[in-house]
Chains A and B, each alone.
Chain A
Amino acid sequence: MADQHTSPRAIVDEDAALPTVADLYGELDEDRTTEVMTVNIGPHHPATHGVLRLVVDLEGEIVRDLKPVIGYVHTGIEKSCEDKSYWKVIPFVERMDYVSYFFQMEAYCGAVERLIGLEIPPRAKYLRTIFLELNRIHSHLVWLGTTALDLGAISMLWYCFRERDRILDLFEMATGQRMHTRYFQVGGVIEDIPLGWEERCRSFVHDMPIRVGQYEALLDRNEVFLQRTKGVGIVSRERLLELGVTGPLLRAAGEPWDLRKAFDYLAYPEMDFKIPVGTVGDNYDRYRVRVAEMVESTKIIGQALDALPGGPFIADDRKYVLPPRSELSTSMESLIHHFKLVTEGFRVDPGEIYYAIEGPRGELGCFVLADGSSKPARVHFRDPSFVNLQSFKDMAMDSYVADMICSLGMLDPILGGVDR
């Protein structure tokens, strides 16, 4: 038996000189070092954060041209929405950008509410604000964990997903689902937060800035992380604006543009928070801006919990909002409304609207066209990932392949949102 498993060490002459590159591959000619080679990366590749395919022209290790090819998870959600009544569209749109589902719901529900002129009660505005900001932290945690993983900081993934799990627990406690909660309704939210939820949320709000400090302690003095991110992937502010880029990417380049401050929606006008902006616009700034945004989001949640008004959590308009369950056994009127809403759904007068909110990746716009029936004639999402992806070529041009992967992580595209 022993003879069959001769150790490889035994047949290597340890005194012999190691072969040189020229021995193994022959002399490298001058041309070979400058040859441009087209390489396909993806669509199934762990570093592309989803089903993204990149066709890259490489000169050695330097990226000379790049083309993102998308559409691999296109599921025709916008078309399917046209075949559903307004309230049944909500679970569909949540599944576009699958880590910022509350934002999709808000964009869609807000658009429909503005189309029918339905005012939502103050408590619903505050609850929506709280859930949106929790979702923003959740989305940034997924981004931070996976991007740090790309750069070799594996432990960051576990720490980020630990805190993400606390957010998902909060979602589950309030809505019954961890993801794709279908919590927002046209007119408000579907039910009030349960007893004890506020306390758990406050404890999370208390812990989160400490956790963010720990993340920074892990990354901010990490020489590898700093060298990989500082001065890499710089795109100027003007170019980003031309390309329609919004959100943390634009703010990292020094443009303080945030729809939460610019436009008046939900409870944001009453909140006191800052917009973090960068100076250089490199990958390090993108990281700093998002991390600072997480802290600002916890401030918003804390303030919203303090100022959470009482009263109803959904509008009391029986033409659009389901009547309370308790009325169904006593009131014929309520039963008829319930039946009409569940079977046909509500009708919306002809009109069209574009409503945009600040998502975790930038301007998330929803266009709804109503033709007077109970189904929308068109639902279109202006997804920030889709538009921001156009700036990827500028970020990765003339950098190393490894830096391209870093830039892609910092761009933070969610391919479900890109392809819809």
Chain B
Amino acid sequence: MPDGPGLELLRGEIDLDLAGAVLDTSYAKERAVLIVDAGRVREVLTWLRDTPGQGYRFLSSLHVADYLPAEPRFGVHYEMLNRERVERLRVKAMLPAEGPEIDSVTDLFPTANFQEREAFDFFGVLFRGHPELTRILLPEDYVGWPQRRDFPVGGEPVTFTYSEERYG
């Protein structure tokens, strides 16, 4: 992982090329996080991937977390990995509660395909430009975004009620 000062240096370098794309940084539990402007996440990821000396070329994981009741509410996490320097870096983009939308990165990192579909499936985050943004784990006709924090556990109607009707 880049350490605290390393993260600030990295931010400085990004600011030289992409002014204003990085909104904030955080360094906690030995994990470095870049919080970026949701509209410019593709620029930052491309910069991290292609700039000589950076080489965060491997996207380990893409997932979404719901920070209810905070606003902006959704965080899209890109766990970047630099395999040469063995460093991890998390890039995080925050999205509003109403109509969360972000550019897809499937063309930059083909591995994001399934993971963006999963994020759409469970949180209703729209990935603009995704080749096939459909539900992946839930049925096609499912209504609702079950991993959101305001979706109740047990909010699913029971389909098979034979035992309940018969034995009460």
Q: Measuring CB to CB, which residues of chain A are less than 8 angstroms from any residue of chain B? A: 70-71, 74, 76, 78-80, 82-83, 114-115, 117, 241-245, 257, 262-263, 351-354, 356, 363, 365, 367, 369, 377-378, 380, 382, 386-387, 389-390, 419-420
A71 touching B77, Cβ below 8 Å: no
A352 to B79, CA, bound (A): 12
Cβ–Cβ < 8 Å partners of A76 in chain B: 146
- Residues of chain A within 8 A of B109, CB atoms compared: 242, 244
Chain B residue numbers with a CB within 8 Å of A70 are: 136-137
Question: Smallest CB–CB gap between B125 and chain A, Å?
Answer: 14
Chain B residues 93-133 with CB under 8 Å of chain A are 109-115, 118, 122
Give the complex CA separation of A387 and B109 in angstroms.
12
* A365 partner, pick from B60, B86, B138, beta carbons under 8 A: B60
Given A71-B136, A83-B153, A382 contacting B77 (CB threshold 8 A): no
Task: Name 18 A/B residue pairs within 8 A (Cβ), A-sorted.
Answer: A71-B137, A74-B137, A115-B29, A242-B110, A244-B112, A353-B29, A354-B31, A354-B60, A354-B79, A354-B88, A356-B61, A363-B60, A367-B61, A367-B63, A369-B65, A377-B149, A380-B65, A386-B115
Chain B contacts for A389, CB-based, 8 A: 114
Q: Is B60 in contact with A262, judged by CB distance below 8 angstroms? A: no
A262, B137: Cβ atoms under 8 Å? no
Asked if residues B138 and A79 are in contact (CB atoms below 8 Å), the reply is no
Given known pairs A74-B138, A242-B110, A382-B60, the reply for A387 and B29 (CB within 8 Å) is no
Bound CA–CA A80/B59 (angstroms) = 27
CB-CB < 8 A to A82: which residues of B? 149, 153
Chain A residues in 8 Å Cβ range of B88: 354
B29 contacts across to A, CB distance below 8 A: 114-115, 117, 351, 353
Q: How many A-B residue pairs have CB under 8 A?
A: 92
Beyond A367-B63, A389-B114, 8 additional contacts (C-beta under 8 Å) are: A70-B136, A78-B147, A80-B153, A82-B149, A242-B109, A356-B60, A367-B61, A420-B137
Measured CB to CB, the nearest residue on chain A to B119 is A380
- Report whether over half of chain A's contact residues are helix, strand or loop; otherwise say mixed: mixed
Asked if B110 and A243 sit within 8 Å, CB to CB, the answer is: yes
| Assembled-state Cα–Cα distance A114/B153 (Å) | 27
Chain A CB within 8 A of B158 CB: no
Are A390 and B111 in contact, CB atoms less than 8 angstroms apart? yes
Shortest CB distance A320–B (Å): 16
In the bound complex, residues from chain A placing their C-beta under 8 Å from that of B138 are 71, 74
Contacts of B110 in A (CB 8 A): 242-244, 390
